[in-house]
Structure 1
Amino acid sequence: MEILAVLGVILLGCFLMGVPVIVILLVNAFNFLKNLEHLLQELRKNQMEQSLVLDRIRRHITAQETPPVHSPVPGPAPSAAPAGTPSPIAETKSAGTKEVSAPISVLPEKKIQTVLPESKTAPAPERKPELSDRFSDFTRKTEEAIGRIVRWLCVGEEFRNPNVSPEYAVATTWLVRVGVLILLCGVAFFLKYSIDNNLVKPEIRIAASFLFGAGMVWGGLRALKGRYQGVASGIIGAGFVTCYLSVYFAYRTFSLIPYGYSFAVLLAVVAAAGILAIWKNQLLPAVIGTLGGYAVPFLLSRGTVDLTGLFTFTSLLSVFVLLGAAIRSWRILHLLAFSFNALIYLAAGLKVGFSNYKLCIFFFCVNFAIFSVIPLVCRLFRRMSITLIEVLLLLFNYLLFLGLALSAALYYVSDKDFASYLMLGTTLFTGAQYALLYFMKKEERALSSVLAVMTGGSLVLFVCLRFSGNWMNVALAVLAVAMAYAGMRTADKALGILSWGVHMLLGIRVFLYSSEMISTYPQLALDRFFSLGIFALALGLSGLFLRRSDPEKFPEAGKVSLVFLTLAGIQFFYYTSTEIYDLAAAFLPVFKNGILSVYWSVCALALLLSGLLGRLKPLRKTALALFIVCALKIFLVDLENLGTLPRVAAFLAIGVVMILGAVLYARFKERFEAAGEVRNP
């Protein structure tokens, strides 16, 4: 067991040395994104400057070409000229000319006064924030957060003094860390040597090592205010690790103190490390306290796993660690807390299983709530910016919760109702967070998008677990339309993407199960309406909602709504064609092909009329293509399969419809005469 303690210390050192490599790779990726965003901003800035210069030149040319308007302006009374000096005005009048000499110097001054203020006071067009700007800001915040973590791992400080050379920062930090690691190994080997040779009594050895660790903490605190702050922080961390090892040897090797006292002493050491770290704003003691806190259940393991005690301890420890991290904005503690929680829950599930599923699911929910609320609390009360670190933690936390909770509920309970209620509670919880963020008007797109994804995903799982058959189609359609409407109201693109995803899920389900419909009329018509018809209705309503979005907040809404409406039209055409064909096959089988051709021609006429009234060329082209398909079908397919009377009726009906199409083109002839449009604008 002593070797395990030494190996634990060595693994801790390897962790501190290996993590920077991974984080530096992430920083390089974000640097690439940042450079790309800077390039886009420079191009956009140059374009804005060029447009401003062109606008100013255009104003200046317009002002020069506009003829000045002369108005009689009463001038000052002319001063009396000397007796011997002839007046120029008198000379002009006496000459009998019709020209009136105007004061030439007034016009240029007046022109300058009217042109220059316009060029000076011409307001520059206000540039509204775009999606790329928000993404650039999110990337910048993420890069700053990762940079702080990298700087702490490399030089021991989140904000390195630019006046200090990198050599000094790296050398002092890593000399201290490696020296502390070697010192701890020396302490561990000394304890092992004293045990093997029985130099002094175990009580004295343990007390001396614990006091030595406490002395290191006290000495480090005294040296924090001077120039040896980095060295002092390392000594404080080494002191706390020495206290951990002392309690561990006292309990595990010598059995000097019982389990309860050992647990209490280790908790006291963990609390002391956390309080001291927050008080003195020192991250290293906080990291050591966090690692030691999560190591307590393993250091004091008695061979059996008490899930209640283990999960209660880890949940309380996570709350205190995350609150401390929120106070000082230490994101590395978020990463450590989530990683150790995930490892503990997964290890417990693999080793002992979740036979007590109710207790396990309760703690799964508690753990999910803790790690979901902390980013929102930091944003609302600490005004801490949300970065990619928080986004990934929220997503991983959500996926971990789904994997653990749903597997425990479905495997041990084997009841979909219980799992569906669990997803309903998750939906309400994440939806409440999203609503709180929205109504408090906190502009945090990343956090609101993640919460929207979690809410929508939980709601979809609830629908799939709770409903079946046609009711599942209805529930998915209502959910898809509701997400599209919410995306329109809040201008949240994440909800729009979720709506698209739910529509895809509904479409896949509809087309997979539509081929398995074996019922007859009227049940077949009802089943098809709840599958193909509901899908077309959902697409159409979502397209209409997205079309009403604010173009300033959601500039892509027009294109997205056009896609939705186009798919809705195609789906409606397919649904009605299938329904009419089966209806004719059931009640008028002789005329089923002819009725379908007539219906297609009527649809083509409706598309043509809509395209002419709305000046929509794609609709007119689609109508013409459908007319061609109807003509080919009536000659190649219907001519062989129809009887005499159905054939006559189909030919007459389709012919009349096509003639009506030509009449419509003739009615709107002026819209296709380019010359007439030019002459009569």
Structure 2
Amino acid sequence: MDGLLFLGLIVLAVVLVLTWRRTTETMDKINQDVGLLSQRIDYLRRLIEKGEAGTGATQDRKPPAPPMPGMTVSPPPGVHPGAMPARSDSPVTPPFPPPMPPPLPVRDRPPVPYPAQVPDDFMKIEISDADQQEAAGRTQAIVDSVSTILRKMFNWLLVNEEFRPKGVTAEYAIATTWLLRVGILGLVGAASYFLRWSIEQNLIGPEARVGLCMLAGAAMIVAGLRMPGNKYSIMGQGFIGGGLLILYFSGYAAGPLYHIFGPQLSTPVAFALMICVTVAAGTIAVRTDSLLTAVIGLAGGFATPVLIRTAHPNLPVFYSYMLLLVVGMLAVSRSRQWRILNYLGFMATYVLFYASKTVYTIVDFPVAMAFLSAFFVMHSAIVYMHNVSRGNRSTVLEVLHLVANAVLFSWFGYWLIKDAYGGRYPAVMSIGLAAFYIAHVLFFLRRRLDDRKLLTTLIALAALFVTWTMPLLFEKESLTISLALLALAFLWIGRRIGSSFVVDLAYLIYLVVFVKLVGLDLMDNFGRHGGEQAPIAEYWRQMLTRLVRFGISIASVAVGFVLLRDDEAARPDDHTVSKENDLPHDLDRSMVRSAFFWFAALFAFLFAQLEISAMFTYWKPMRMPALTLVWCVAAGYFLWLYARGTVKSGVLLGAAIAFCSIAILKLFSFDLASWNFSERFVYGGEYAPVHVWARLVDFWALFLLCSVGWFTLHSRRAGKGASGFFGYAALLLLFAYSTFELNTFLSIRKPEMQAAGISMLWALFAIGFIGSGIWKNSSALRYLGLALFSLVVMKVIFVDLRHIQTIYKVVACMAVGLLLLAGAFAYIRAERKFHPGSGDRHDHDGIGDRASPDGVPADEP
């Protein structure tokens, strides 16, 4: 279980790194494109301005066009007609400019100058410093790099600010910060040592000591708040922090140290005082924008339960106090993005929860699990609360924070649930986590928030916990089915919402399914059988289980292939996930679809091979023929796909030839050996009908496959060479089966006719080859028939006539002679085909098309 969780985290980490890298590269490219586009716009604007200036300088002024009859001139806007002065004979200056002449017709307008050719230095325009600063500002606003954030955090530790103040040296900034911090700690130490000295000298009572410390702390806080801003703000923050520390110490002294309010009330009152100090620290930190104050308040708040302990721990009160602190952090995070505060609070929460295990019992499970869930929800909200409320994008630091929160919660929750209930109950937690992140994804999509890293992380976490649910909820045997169905669901959802990231997650889960099926499940089901054979009833039960397990997994891959085959892309408006929030899809869909197809096909063949082999161990004579049938079905399937033409790929034809070739090699290498085939071309053992039928099925299954292959491909121009392979393979199988089977039959039933019978059989094949070669116009078949005739004649003369009786010699010679005459008659009958100039018309496969008496193929006009 731990290994699976660790593996999932590794995969998620890799995905996050790749996501960050791709996002960075994409944003850099976008920034470059935007900068280049702005350069082009500036260049065009300058060209237009220069053109307008040149036009105004060179254009000759023309006299205004005469007014048209009945045309009136309207005054400019803003001038009432009644306000126009009366016309007089004396020249006066008009109160408004004369009206502009009417616009020129389009044909009289001068053409706007436009550069005939773009200059060579168009792409090399220098950018001003102001433009560079503006572009850098836009880039920083889009991508807030992790290095910048970490540098800000480091600067705060050094100089109490994210950036070093302008106009001061590093020495001044560091010196003032750390001298102040150490000085405040010195004042706090002085107060503590004063209390200790007063105790030793017995000067004042406990109540006075605590009261003086509270007054000193309050005075330091008031002094810090009254410090003037800007120049002395850092000193004011130091006084406020020191005052808060003294108040925390005073609360501790009033409670566990002196029990000022009595044995029963001192601890609750001190607890309440520290809560008030913590709330005051958070309020002051937000009002004064002081991270130092917030860190001190947080540290004091989480240190309070460590300092104030009771004789009888109360976990509900302890967890309630921690939840109050976390809620305060959430309130602060809405208005301030203080990552150091968030990280410190996150670590302190889970450290104190882990420390509570020392007093935890099974009875406390409901309380512990409820508060642990509340801590998880609060810290998840802290991660993205500020960015979502302000519209900012998340960085890798937020992603890591979100993942760490999920990991720690699932780790603690898993052991709490397992210790309390055991078994499969942790799956309830993983389902709840998956639902939690899925709800966030839906909310994210509904709000149309533009934050790719956050959306990707939420989807990845939802997928991780859904995947983790499978091994928790189901048995080991059902894990593969669960993962296969989960991968199919992710693939369907990813295509429905248009998310490449979800589709890539589906591919990743499918890869796990592939490895598990081949590397583990096949070995567990077929590779670890003992020496004893299980009863047939037990085998049928196991086979049904395997069919369900492997069948559903293969069906999931097949349905995934069908989904990927649908290349009809959805419109961008139909996508729920926008491109800005998604990852670029780099995988070629056709390549992935091919991987799905070949895995489903080859794994189904492998499973069928192993299952048929196990099944026919209960009927061994038919075991090898049954395996041959599996090879023939696979080769026939690939041949059928190729013949359909839907997939125009020579790989399918190559797969069909490969499977057929391996099946033929298997037949002659393993199947014949299983029938005790000897060098005399005779099957050993008992000549029983079951063995005869087994050999018939074995040979004729391959013969029919090769025959179908030849008939399918011989008329296709693209499959000429392959059709020759199937055709000659079919002839070889028919010749071998007839020879072996007849030789075995005659050796048992008629030994004296064994040699002569084989000779007559070969002579029949020879005449068949010659006749087919003449009919199909194939010289290769005719030469093969002539060669076989020659072999038959030599066999009859030198082998057959030496060991058989006279009557059988007569029969053999007559049969061979008649067959030879038949061959000669066939040549004479087709004399016209062998005239000079007629030529042989044959295909590339050597088995020609059927020809007419004139030597022209019958299918040609």
For the aligned pair, the TM-score class normalised by the smaller chain equals: 0.7 to 0.9
Residue matched to 2:442: 435
SS of 1:303's partner is coil
SS of 1:340's partner is helix
Residue matched to 1:462: 469
Pairing 1:27-38 to 2, within 5 Å after superposition: none
Residue matched to 2:608: 576
Residue matched to 1:615: 648
User: How far apart, CA to CA, are the structure 2 residues paired with 1:359 and 1:118?
Assistant: 75
Residue matched to 1:98: none
Question: Which string of whole-angstrom CA distances, capped at 9 and with x for unpartnered residues, describes residues 491-514 of structure 1?
Answer: 445534543454355456656455
Equivalent position amino acid for 1:332 in 2: I
Q: CA deviation at 1:344?
A: 0.9
- Computing the radius of gyration from Cα coordinates, the structure with the larger value is 2
Structure ranking higher on relative contact order (CA contacts 8 Å, 6+ apart)? 1
1:261 aligns with 2:292: no
Equivalent position amino acid for 2:393 in 1: S
Q: TM-score, normalised by structure 1?
A: 0.74
Residue matched to 1:654: 702
User: Do the aligned partners of residues 598 and 407 (structure 1) sit closer, same or farther apart at CA in structure 2, a change above 3 Å counting?
Assistant: same
1:526 aligns with 2:544: yes
Residue matched to 1:230: 234
User: How far apart, CA to CA, are the structure 1 residues paired with 2:395 and 2:480?
Assistant: 37
Contact 1:491–1:554, Cα closer than 8 Å, also in 2 = no
Residue matched to 1:537: 555
User: How far apart, CA to CA, are the structure 2 residues paired with 1:119 and 1:616?
Assistant: 47
- For residue 602 of structure 1, the aligned residue among 618, 636, 642 is 636
1:242 aligns with 2:290: no
1:555 aligns with 2:586: yes
Question: Which string of whole-angstrom CA distances, capped at 9 and with x for unpartnered residues, describes residues 582-634 of structure 1?
Answer: 45555744632332332343244246547x65332444444443333223212
Q: Whose helix proportion is higher, 1 or 2?
A: 1
Residue matched to 1:398: 406
Residue matched to 1:626: 659
1:566 aligns with 2:598: yes
Contact 1:322–1:337, Cα closer than 8 Å, also in 2 = no
User: How far apart, CA to CA, are the structure 1 residues paired with 2:155 and 2:593?
Assistant: 46
Residue matched to 1:289: 297
Equivalent position amino acid for 1:189 in 2: Y
Q: CA deviation at 1:639?
A: 2.3
User: How far apart, CA to CA, are the structure 1 residues paired with 2:498 and 2:140?
Assistant: 19
User: How far apart, CA to CA, are the structure 2 residues paired with 1:218 and 1:284?
Assistant: 16
Contact 2:27–2:143, Cα closer than 8 Å, also in 1 = no
Equivalent position amino acid for 1:212 in 2: A
Q: CA deviation at 1:205?
A: 2.3
User: How far apart, CA to CA, are the structure 1 residues paired with 2:359 and 2:327?
Assistant: 25
1:591 aligns with 2:591: no
User: How far apart, CA to CA, are the structure 1 residues paired with 2:566 and 2:669?
Assistant: 44
- Aligned-residue sequence identity (percent) comes to 24
Contact 1:607–1:622, Cα closer than 8 Å, also in 2 = no
Equivalent position amino acid for 1:255 in 2: H
SS of 2:463's partner is helix
Residue matched to 2:857: none
Pairing 1:179-328 to 2, within 5 Å after superposition: 179-257=183-261, 258-328=266-336
Equivalent position amino acid for 1:556 in 2: L
1:480 aligns with 2:512: no
User: How far apart, CA to CA, are the structure 2 residues paired with 1:39 and 1:395?
Assistant: 24
Contact 1:248–1:299, Cα closer than 8 Å, also in 2 = yes
Equivalent position amino acid for 2:662 in 1: V
Question: Which string of whole-angstrom CA distances, capped at 9 and with x for unpartnered residues, describes residues 505-524 of structure 1?
Answer: 54566564555556656434
Q: CA deviation at 1:324?
A: 0.4
Task: Report the RMSD for the aligned CA atoms in angstroms.
Answer: 4.0
User: Do the aligned partners of residues 492 and 342 (structure 1) sit closer, same or farther apart at CA in structure 2, a change above 3 Å counting?
Assistant: farther
Residue matched to 1:143: 147
Question: Which string of whole-angstrom CA distances, capped at 9 and with x for unpartnered residues, describes residues 307-340 of structure 1?
Answer: 1111111112101112202311111121111101
Deviates more, 1:262-271 or 1:662-671: 662-671
SS of 1:352's partner is coil
Q: TM-score, normalised by structure 2?
A: 0.59
Contact 1:145–1:387, Cα closer than 8 Å, also in 2 = no
- For residue 153 of structure 1, the aligned residue among 154, 157, 160 is 157
Q: Give the number of equivalent residue pairs.
A: 570
Equivalent position amino acid for 1:480 in 2: A
Q: CA deviation at 1:489?
A: 3.2
Contact 1:420–1:462, Cα closer than 8 Å, also in 2 = yes
- For residue 431 of structure 2, the aligned residue among 412, 424, 427 is 424
Q: CA deviation at 1:251?
A: 2.0
User: How far apart, CA to CA, are the structure 2 residues paired with 1:137 and 1:274?
Assistant: 29
Contact 2:713–2:719, Cα closer than 8 Å, also in 1 = no
Structure 1 unaligned regions, length at least 5: 1-29, 54-108, 123-134, 674-681
Contact 1:213–1:240, Cα closer than 8 Å, also in 2 = yes
User: How far apart, CA to CA, are the structure 2 residues paired with 1:483 and 1:565?
Assistant: 18
User: Do the aligned partners of residues 604 and 354 (structure 1) sit closer, same or farther apart at CA in structure 2, a change above 3 Å counting?
Assistant: same
User: Do the aligned partners of residues 299 and 214 (structure 1) sit closer, same or farther apart at CA in structure 2, a change above 3 Å counting?
Assistant: same
Contact 1:318–1:337, Cα closer than 8 Å, also in 2 = yes
Equivalent position amino acid for 1:448 in 2: L
User: How far apart, CA to CA, are the structure 2 residues paired with 1:583 and 1:315?
Assistant: 62
User: Do the aligned partners of residues 672 and 489 (structure 1) sit closer, same or farther apart at CA in structure 2, a change above 3 Å counting?
Assistant: farther
Structure 2 unaligned regions, length at least 5: 1-16, 41-109, 124-138, 526-533, 571-578, 676-690, 722-861
User: Do the aligned partners of residues 288 and 462 (structure 1) sit closer, same or farther apart at CA in structure 2, a change above 3 Å counting?
Assistant: same
- For residue 178 of structure 1, the aligned residue among 177, 182, 190 is 182
User: How far apart, CA to CA, are the structure 2 residues paired with 1:213 and 1:183?
Assistant: 10
Residue matched to 2:390: 382
- For residue 636 of structure 1, the aligned residue among 669, 686, 693 is 669
SS of 1:228's partner is helix
